[in-house]
C-alpha cells in the first residue's frame, strides 16, 4: 500500500513539474517578441523600393513579426497621424510636421534621397536649363510635399516668381499647375495644358522610354547649385519612439535594409517583376531608373541629420526645427 501511495505521489509531482516547465516556457515566449506583430507602411513608388526584399525575406525582425503594407501615396500620412503603423515611410517634411504636432515617432533614416526631374517632350535627348523654363507652364506633383517644396525653392533662388494666371507670364516667371500624380502631370504635357512637368523616379525614366519625354532637368543638380548641399531628403523612415529605442530591433532592421538595398542595386533587371509580384501590381520600375531612385535607407549619421535640418529650415520655415525632437 505504501509503495502504491509513493508511486502515485511521484506521478503527481512529475505532472506538476511538467506543468510548471510548460508555464515557464510560455512566459519566456511572451518575452521574446514572437507574439508581437508590427506594421510597416510605405507609399507606392520609389519609397516602397527601400523595403523591397524585406517584404518577402523579413517577415520577422529581431523576434517580432512584421506585416508590410504598400498604400496609395495620398493615404500614407494617416498611417503615422493615427498611429496605424509602427514604421512608416513618408515625405520627410510631412513626417517631421506630424512629430512637431505631437506624433510619437522618430526619424531614423532617410529612405530615399532626392530623385526629382523636370521633363518634357522632345524627339532627341535634351538637357533643360533654368533659362528654358522661364515664361513656361509647368505641372508639378506634390504641392505640399517635397516635389513642390524643392521646385519652388529652386525657382525662388533663381529669382523666378510664380504667377497664378498664364496671362501674366514673362521671362522672369513661371506658371505652376499642380498635379495629383505623375499620370496627371504627363497628361497635362501631352494635351498641351503645360510645357513641362516635375515628377519623380521611376516616372521620369518611364515617361522617357514610353512617351518620348527626352527633355529633362536634374533637380538634384539644380538644388545643389542654390543650396550648396549634395542632395535633399525626399522620404524618411519614421518609427514609433518606443520601438526606435529598441537597439536590438533597430540593428536588425538596418541589417535587413542594407541587404535589400544591395539586392535592388545589383539586380535592376529583376526589380520590376519582383515589385509587381510582391509589393503592388501597378509597380513600374524600368531598369535604367533604379540607380536614379537614390535609395538610402541607412542609419542616420550626424552629417545626415544636419542635412535634414538644413532642408527643413530652408524649405519648411515657420518652425524652430532645432527644438523639435525629430531623431
pLDDT tens sequence across 239-260: 999 999 999 999 999 999 999 9
- Residue 208 belongs to what domain range? 116-227
Whole-angstrom Cα distance, residue 283 to residue 312? Answer: 30
Please check the confidence at residue 10 and state whether its pLDDT lies above 70: no
Q: Where are the alpha helices (DSSP H) in the chain?
A: 2-31, 46-49, 54-57, 76-81, 92-100, 130-133, 146-157, 182-190, 203-211, 219-227, 241-244, 247-266, 268-278, 302-315
User: Residue 26: its pLDDT value, please?
Assistant: 37
164 within some domain: yes
* pLDDT tens string 168-195: 999 999 999 999 999 999 999 999 999 9
Which is nearest to 213 in space by CA: 286, 264, 282?
A: 286
Residues β-bridged to residue 141: 179
Considering the domain architecture, whether residues 135 and 284 belong to the same structural domain is answered as: no
pLDDT computed for residue 21 by the predictor: 37
In a domain, 190, yes or no: yes
Check whether residue 75 and residue 128 sit in a common domain.
no
Q: For residues 9 and 155, which has the higher predicted lDDT (pLDDT)?
A: 155
Task: Compute how many other C-beta atoms are within 10 angstroms of the C-beta atom of residue 45.
Answer: 24
For residue 20, pLDDT over 90 is answered with no
pLDDT at 34: 59
Domain check: are 204 and 262 in the same one?
no
144 contacts 271 by C-beta, under 8 angstroms = no
4 lies in some domain: no
Average pLDDT over residues 255-274: 98
Cβ count within 10 A of residue 237: 32
**Average pLDDT of the chain to the nearest whole number:** 91
Total domain count, the chain = 2
Mean pLDDT value of segment 272-288: 97
Residues 292 and 152 in one domain: no
Whether residues 124 and 109 share a domain: the answer is no
Report whether pLDDT(8) > 50.
no
Q: Are residues 129 and 213 in the same domain?
A: yes
Q: What's the average model confidence in pLDDT over 49-57?
A: 98
Q: For residue 59, which of 316, 262, 311, 278 has the smallest C-alpha distance?
A: 278
CATH number (domain holding residue 270): 3.40.190.10
Same domain, 203 and 291: no
In this predicted structure, the answer to whether residue 19 has a pLDDT above a threshold of 50 is no
Residue 315 has pLDDT above 70, yes or no: yes
| φ and ψ of 162, to 5 deg | -110, 125
Note whether 174 and 98 are same-domain residues. no
Same domain, 280 and 294: yes
- Tens of pLDDT, residue by residue over 117-131, are 999 999 999 999 999
Residues 223 and 199 in one domain: yes
Comparing CA positions, the residue from 170, 150, 168 lying closest to residue 160 is 170
Neighbouring CB atoms inside 10 A of 174's CB total 24
Q: Are 260 and 65 in contact (CB under 8 A)?
A: no
Cell 513539474 belongs to residue: 17
Q: What is the pLDDT of residue 130?
A: 97
Is residue 32 included in any domain, yes or no?
no
What confidence score (pLDDT) does residue 153 get? 97
**For residue 286, is pLDDT > 50?**
yes
Predicted TM-score of the model (pTM): 0.87
Q: Which of 227, 262, 295 is the last residue of a domain?
A: 227
Is residue 294 one of the residues assigned to a domain? yes
Amino acid at each position: 500500500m505504501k509503495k502504491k501511495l509513493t508511486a502515485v505521489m511521484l506521478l503527481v509531482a512529475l505532472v506538476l513539474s511538467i506543468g510548471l516547465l510548460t508555464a515557464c516556457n510560455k512566459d519566456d515566449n511572451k518575452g521574446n517578441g514572437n507574439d508581437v506583430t508590427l506594421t510597416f507602411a510605405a507609399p507606392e513608388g520609389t519609397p516602397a523600393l527601400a523595403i523591397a526584399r524585406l517584404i518577402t525575406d523579413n517577415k520577422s525582425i529581431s523576434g517580432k513579426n512584421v506585416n508590410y503594407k504598400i498604400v496609395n501615396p495620398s493615404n500614407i500620412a494617416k498611417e503615422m497621424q493615427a498611429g496605424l503603423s509602427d514604421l512608416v515611410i513618408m515625405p520627410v517634411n510631412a513626417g517631421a510636421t506630424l512629430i512637431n504636432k505631437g506624433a510619437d515617432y522618430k526619424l531614423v533614416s532617410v529612405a530615399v534621397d532626392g530623385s526629382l526631374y523636370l521633363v518634357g517632350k522632345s524627339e532627341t535627348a535634351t538637357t533643360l536649363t533654368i533659362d528654358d523654363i522661364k515664361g513656361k507652364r509647368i505641372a508639378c506633383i506634390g504641392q505640399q510635399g517635397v516635389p513642390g517644396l524643392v521646385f519652388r525653392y529652386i525657382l525662388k533662388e533663381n529669382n523666378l516668381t510664380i504667377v497664378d494666371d498664364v496671362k501674366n507670364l514673362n521671362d522672369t516667371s513661371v506658371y505652376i499647375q499642380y498635379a495629383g500624380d505623375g499620370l496627371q502631370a504627363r497628361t497635362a504635357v501631352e494635351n498641351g495644358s503645360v510645357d513641362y512637368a516635375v515628377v519623380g523616379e521611376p516616372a521620369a525614366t518611364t515617361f522617357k522610354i514610353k512617351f518620348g519625354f527626352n527633355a529633362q532637368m536634374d533637380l538634384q543638380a539644380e538644388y545643389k547649385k542654390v543650396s550648396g548641399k549634395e542632395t535633399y531628403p525626399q522620404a524618411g523612415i519614421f518609427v514609433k519612439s518606443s520601438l526606435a529605442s529598441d537597439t536590438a530591433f533597430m540593428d536588425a532592421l538596418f541589417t535587413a535594409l542594407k541587404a535589400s538595398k544591395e539586392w535592388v542595386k545589383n539586380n535592376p533587371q529583376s526589380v520590376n517583376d519582383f515589385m509587381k509580384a510582391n509589393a503592388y501590381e501597378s509597380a513600374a520600375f524600368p531598369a535604367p531608373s533604379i540607380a536614379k531612385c537614390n535609395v538610402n535607407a541607412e542609419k542616420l549619421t550626424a552629417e545626415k541629420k544636419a542635412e535634414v535640418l538644413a532642408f527643413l529650415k530652408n524649405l519648411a520655415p515657420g518652425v524652430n526645427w532645432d527644438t523639435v525632437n525629430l531623431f
